[in-house]
Structure 1
Amino acid sequence: MALPMRTVPSGFVDYVTEVRTFGDHFTPYANQADRGLVERAAARAADLGLKAGDRVLVDAAKHPDPLDWLLAPLAGGATLVLCGALDPAKLDGRSVAEKVTTQLV
């Protein structure tokens, strides 16, 4: 239950003691190639009308490009409800249950 192992076998490491020291954040390396992708994602978020705090439901079948269903929401500061086989009859219920503010369907 998230406690370190008392004795770690030779050739192994204790996951709990190794991972616990890292924070829950990621800072990517500065890379010129990434800059272009980040700019495209931000532009796409603006095109889709996504903004910080949005909860975006995306039909991945209609938006198969990861720029739409992953990078644009992240660049816009939105959270994501990704649906792979969205049933249109259940769209309203899913939107309410997931507290969706914007739909890409």
Structure 2
Amino acid sequence: MIRDALKKTMIEVLKYDKKYKDIIDREQLIRMLGRVRVNYVPQYEFANHGRSYQHWEVIELRFPIPLWEVAEEHMKELESLVEYVYEESEDYALHHIEI
């Protein structure tokens, strides 16, 4: 998935998907995601999803330093959101998320 597409999709899901309408600080998360930088970090280890030659990748959510503490408080919601919108490819599968 393209970096900007992941970020934009996470914001759109927070805005419009019923699954996330009850998050307490939803508006704050939307603003935070507007400032995040997403990095895809490929791993050498093979994923065990049954696809040949598919590797793991780590998604890094890089927030500005003043937002780190708030991002860590919302780690559960951010992980859920990335797992929900992440698009697996022939080459990569999501391993985990880091802030």
Fold agreement, TM-score > 0.5: no
Q: Which has the higher helix share?
A: 2
Per the normalisation by structure 2, the TM-score is 0.29
Please say which structure displays the higher CA radius of gyration.
Answer: 1
**Which structure carries more relative contact order (alpha carbon 8 Å, separation 6+)?**
2
TM-score for both structures, normalised by structure 1? 0.27
Structure with bigger strand share is 2
